[in-house]
A and B are shown apart, each in its own frame.
Chain A
Amino acid sequence: MIDNSGFESIFRHEWSRLVATLVRDLGDLDIAEDAAQDAFMEASTRWPDSGLPDRPGAWLLTVARRKSIDRARQSNRSAARQQKLVDNARWAEQSASPALVDDQLALLLGCCHPALNLDAQVALTLRVVAGLTTEQIARAFLVTEPTMVRRITRAKTKIRMAGIPFIVPDREVLTTRINSISQVVYLIFTEGHSSASSTKLIRGDLCDEALWLSDLLVKLVPNDPEVLGLAALIQLTDSRRQARTDDDGAPVLLEDQDRGRWNRQQIEHGLRLIAEAHALGQLGPFQIQASIQALHCAAPQFADTDWVRIVTLYDLLILRQPSAVVALNRAAALSHIEGPEAALATLVGLEEALDGYIHFHVARAELLSQAGRSREADEAYERAIGQSTNQAEQKHLQRRRQRLVGLPTRTDRATGSSDSD
């Protein structure tokens, strides 16, 4: 007998391998996906009675290849194209091998192809590779299901009509293309980790998908230091998931988090991944960000945080990936060494670039309030609250703002580090 969770784990394991094999054999993403779905449907009705086959993957592939012939015949493709698909499927039944690592990588590369827009890359990756339903993806990104259906359909049409290939390209472009996959996976993670427009701050389902995808990417591209860095960054950041929100779903700042609730297993996994990445001897932005997270994870208490090394890592990151957002994070770290005024001084000139970025106003508000500049802090909180689309976050910011009332003013408060806040 096979229970639901057993079936889900097989689905998890086999879905993208099955789709990858079918795409390789047929050269048609839509038909491949439909056939894979048909095969799982058949498994879900057969396996409860017949029991689990010895090799579920092989069983699914055999069924899916048969189904793909039906799907091709029912499709809206031209007669010639249908015949080609049927021939491809027949040929594959006779002679093709099951999924190779490269087929799965090719599938991911196709879904994250730069000729597709980023929203489409994200949606396709979650649908085609991770096997989420369109409805689940729509819910995760807070759009209606018809909108998500259109987004995915449009992307698939472009793949077919523009001839976007599912192949692993030459070495010279492969690194860049793998980096686009990493960016998509990281975007899925950050969307789950700090959702832009939800009532709940963390959407664990998206974080789980990103963890799984980064893990898959490490398996497919084992010796890429930045792929390892991405996986480490996601593991280490996600290790704080349980501690990042309180029972009401409101955010808990790093300094207030119960570090006992951090997931030690994930931290250790993340640290192993960084060590592996560093051993390859080619530093990159994901590895640097992962190292920053590692330093946070290494501090038993907030006050133990090694801010000097964190600021140094931010300096390294700015060299490779100059951005106002990184400069902002560096400023926040710097405030713990040189005080809020020094940190605020480094933000001068970034206002224009970061005006639409809520975290800029939050960080400024915090630094200004530490510096005793209550009125300016109040204004900064107001900007932040005005820009927040997340109810839990709005409530949290209102609370931070209210603390300003009765706060000592600049003159009677010594400036300096505020680690112990």
Chain B
Amino acid sequence: MQYMLLLYSAPDAGPADGSPEQMAQMQAWFAYTDALAAAGALVSGEPLQGIDTATTVQVRDGETLTVDGPFAETKELLGGFYLLEVPDLDAALGWAAKCPLAPYGSVEVRPLMVLPPR
């Protein structure tokens, strides 16, 4: 099954920019991504630019509404994702718990919807 790991964290959580901890954190991300790939579980995964770069688009009554900022103002923000191919939820939850963000953020695990062939 395919699962999306949605990586949320508060902007001020985790190691500070430019700190030695952040360097170590980067290594942890590389190691984690490599481990996913080595296990054959990685479909894809990317970090996102910060919410300052987000733009939200809605079409209402045929009119396009473009707004600066993320869709929902929440404390924890979506900062990246991994798409995994693993046998079951236990495997996905196991990977989520190993994610470098898990100690300070939240990893939402969602199965992908499988559409019938068209």
Task: Specify the chain A residue showing the minimal Cβ separation from B1.
Answer: A163
Selected from A78, A115, A167, the residue in CB contact (under 8 A) with B93 is A115
Contacts of A115 in B (CB 8 A): 89, 93
Min Cβ gap A207→B in Å is: 32
Interface residues on A, range: 10 to 19
Query: Is A348 an interface residue, CB under 8 A from the partner?
Result: no
In the assembled complex, B87 has its CB within 8 A of some CB on chain A:
yes
8 A Cβ contacts from B7-53 to A? none
Nearest to B114 among chain A residues (CB) is: A78
- Nearest CB of chain B from residue A171's CB, rounded to whole Å: 13
Complex CA gap A113/B92 in Å reads 14
Structural contact, A163 and B88, CB atoms closer than 8 A: yes
Binding site for B on A (CB under 8 A): 78, 113, 115, 161-165, 167, 169, 173
**B-chain residues with CB within 8 Å of residue A163 when the two chains form the complex:** 1, 3, 87-89, 92, 111
**Chain A nearest CB, measured from B22 CB (Å):** 30
- Contact between B111 and A165 (Cβ–Cβ < 8 Å)? no
A interface secondary structure, majority: loop
Q: Contacts A115-B89, A167-B90, A169-B90: A162 and B116 contacting too (C-beta < 8 A)? A: no
Once bound together, how far apart are the Cα atoms of A161 and B110, in whole Å? 10
Per the bound structure, the CA–CA distance linking A164 and B92 in Å amounts to 10
Complexed CA–CA distance, A78 and B116 (Å): 8
Are A161 and B90 touching (Cβ within 8 A)? no
Whether A162 lies near B89 (C-beta < 8 A) is: yes
Given contacts A78-B116, A167-B90, 10 further A-B contacts (CB under 8 A): A115-B89, A115-B93, A162-B109, A162-B111, A163-B3, A163-B92, A164-B89, A165-B90, A167-B88, A169-B90
26 A–B contact pairs at CB < 8 A?
A78-B116, A113-B89, A115-B89, A115-B93, A161-B111, A162-B89, A162-B109, A162-B111, A163-B1, A163-B3, A163-B87, A163-B88, A163-B89, A163-B92, A163-B111, A164-B88, A164-B89, A164-B90, A165-B87, A165-B88, A165-B89, A165-B90, A167-B88, A167-B90, A169-B90, A173-B94
Chain B residue contacts of A165, Cβ below 8 A? 87-90
Contacts of B94 in A (CB 8 A): 173
Shortest distance from the beta carbon of B98 to any chain A beta carbon, whole Å: 12
Bitwise, B85-114 to A at CB < 8 A (1) or not (0) is 001111011100000000000000101000
Residues of chain B within 8 A (CB-CB) of A162 are 89, 109, 111
Q: Which residues from chain B sit less than 8 Å from chain A, CB to CB?
A: 1, 3, 87-90, 92-94, 109, 111, 116
**Chain B residues within an 8 Å CB radius of A161:** 111
Report how far A296 CA is from B62 CA in the complex, Å.
Answer: 73
In the docked arrangement, what's the CA distance between A115 and B90, Å?
A: 9
Cβ of B37 to closest chain A Cβ, rounded Å: 21
Residues of A within 8 A of B111 (CB): 161-163
Shortest Cβ gap from B109 to chain A (Å)? 8
Q: How far is the CA of A311 from the CA of B91 in the complex (A)?
A: 43
In the bound assembly, the distance between CA atoms of A164 and B91 in angstroms comes to: 10
Q: CA A164 – CA B111 in complex, angstroms?
A: 10
Give Cα distance in the complex from A148 to B39, angstroms: 40
B87, B93, B116 interface centre (most CB from chain A within 10 Å):
B93
* Residue numbers in B under 8 Å from A169 (CB-CB): 90
Q: For B1, what are the chain A residues with a Cβ–Cβ distance below 8 Å?
A: 163
A115: nearest chain-B partner, CB-CB: B89
Among A115, A162, A167, A169, residue most surrounded by chain B Cβ atoms (within 10 Å): A162
Give the shortest distance, in Å, between A381 (CB) and chain B (any CB). Answer: 41
Interfacial chain A residues near B116, Cβ < 8 Å = 78
Residues from chain B with a CB closer than 8 A to the CB of A167 are: 88, 90
Q: Which are the 9 A-B pairs with shortest beta-carbon distances?
A: A165-B88, A163-B89, A163-B88, A163-B1, A164-B89, A162-B111, A162-B89, A165-B90, A163-B111
Task: List, in ascending order, chain A residues with CB within 8 A of B89's CB.
Answer: 113, 115, 162-165
Bound-state CA distance A167–B88 (Å) is: 10
Chain A residues near B90: list those with CB within 8 A: 164-165, 167, 169
Q: What A residues does B3 contact at CB under 8 A?
A: 163
Chain A: CB-nearest residue to B113: A161
Residue in A closest to B86 when the chains form the complex, CB atoms: A163
Q: Which residues of B contact A113 (CB under 8 A)?
A: 89
Bound-complex Cα distance A164 to B89 (A):
5
A169 to B88, CA, bound (A): 12
